[in-house]
Amino acid sequence: MIESAYLHIPFCQSICTYCAFERSANLKQIDQWLDVICDEVQNTLKQAKQNDPTFKLKTIYFGGGTPSVLSCAQLERLASLFADVFDPYGEWTIEANPESITLEWLQTARRLMINRISIGIQTFDAKRLQTLNRHHTPLQAKQAVALCRQAGFESISVDLIYGFAKQTMADLNADLDAFLELDIDHLSIYSLILEPDSALGKRGYVPLDEYENALMYEQIDKRLTQSGFEHYEVSSFARNQKYGLHNSLIWDDGQYFGFGFGAIGRDEQGLYHHSGTLKQYIQKQSHLEYEENPNPWFDAIMTGLRTTMGLNVLKWNLRYGFDFKQRYAHVLNQYSECFIEQNDRISLTKQGMEILDTILVEFLMED
């Protein structure tokens, strides 16, 4: 039974120079897009309720794009479709950019039962925000957090980026200091990786190299863990057990509905998405298509081992019809000091996490 949903809002006020996501800056299309996605959500949820009258969603995630470009009325139209299927004890996250949120918008989201917000701050350095073509100031970022609190959000997450060209350790520490001052319990932090067709990629911008990135990653881990955070996934830190439940379910090989163009969903048959372009989606000319994946069991290993929770071996054996320990005995023996076995799960030690990519390649080679 599917208990999670990801909904993609593919619109942004402006396009960031590093962006490789499905998005459009043509906000005039939003109402037309809403007509289509509302139909899609309604039909799918209706079917789910017919199949199981007790159907509830434990997690919902509105990502993008920039969900905060939706007006209050547009957000209400979309979110109210989930009102009777959202488990009130569940987690409902929405992403937002600092420059486009208002107190009224946040209060609307809270009234609609959205109870977690992820703010795309990226950096507290004004110059680097410009490099990314982000349209908020460091002050606006801090004010956005205060507004979220004022609106009643208790679960707040921040996104940061590191690994900018010429970024020094002092620069990184300044970003981490600014984050820690906000007293927030969740951080997602990513190194700047440029797709060749992103604006920065085309400009020949060169982020920090692998070695310097690794040093920064170590520093982030050190600073955050010293401040009481748990490094519970490669790019995610949480304090006071404020783990991102939606992503944790996905990393635990979970299934989820994927709504809208640019979303990925997953069911018994595998990963699916909408075909074609956003324009075709809006014109109702796209359809769901499944992604070819010859070894989905490896994806489960990859996402599971990225987390401290690890891979549920029993569930994996049942789903994929193999014996994990037998199939991968070679890797498990070769890196025995890197694995922790507890109950039905296998996870990596800190030392194992540091060579995660190497270990994953070993798993792949056994397939």
Note whether 262 binds ligand SF4 by CB under 6 A. Answer: no
Q: Which is nearer to ligand SF4, 12 or 60 (CB)?
A: 12
Binding segment toward ligand SF4, per CB under 6 A, in 61-69, 245-253, 256-264, 306-314: 61-69
Cis peptide before 228 (omega within 30 of 0): no
Q: Give the total of residues touching ligand SF4 (CB under 6 A).
A: 11
State the Cα–Cα distance between residues 245 and 61, nearest whole angstrom. Answer: 10
Q: Which is nearer to ligand SF4, 190 or 298 (CB)?
A: 190
Instruction: Specify the residue for token string 């590093």.
Output: 18
Instruction: Specify the residue for token string 């296998």.
Output: 346
Binding segment toward ligand SF4, per CB under 6 A, in 13-21, 203-211, 227-235, 275-283: 13-21
Q: What three-state secondary structure class fits 225?
A: helix
Among 19, 147, 238, 282, binds ligand SF4 (CB under 6 A): 19
Chain CA centroid to CA 315, Å? 23
Note whether 66 binds ligand SF4 by CB under 6 A. Answer: yes
Note whether 12 binds ligand SF4 by CB under 6 A. Answer: yes
Binding segment toward ligand SF4, per CB under 6 A, in 18-26, 249-257, 324-332, 335-343: 18-26
Q: Nearest approach, Cβ of 119 to ligand SF4 (angstroms)?
A: 11
Q: What residues are paired with 190 via a beta bridge?
A: 161
Q: Residues 6 or more apart from 185 whose CB is under 8 A from it?
A: 155, 156, 238, 239, 240, 242
State the Cα–Cα distance between residues 38 and 33, nearest whole angstrom. Answer: 8
Q: Nearest approach, Cβ of 55 to ligand SF4 (angstroms)?
A: 30
Q: Are 260 and 247 in contact, with CB atoms under 8 Å apart? A: no
Note whether 21 binds ligand SF4 by CB under 6 A. Answer: yes
Among 7, 16, 117, 305, binds ligand SF4 (CB under 6 A): 16
Q: Residues 6 or more apart from 197 whose CB is under 8 A from it?
A: 20
Q: Nearest approach, Cβ of 194 to ligand SF4 (angstroms)?
A: 12
- Cα angle for residues 200, 189, 159 (degrees, 5° grid): 80
Note whether 67 binds ligand SF4 by CB under 6 A. Answer: no
Applying CB under 6 A, the residues found at the interface with ligand SF4 are: 12, 15-16, 19, 21, 23, 64-66, 97, 120
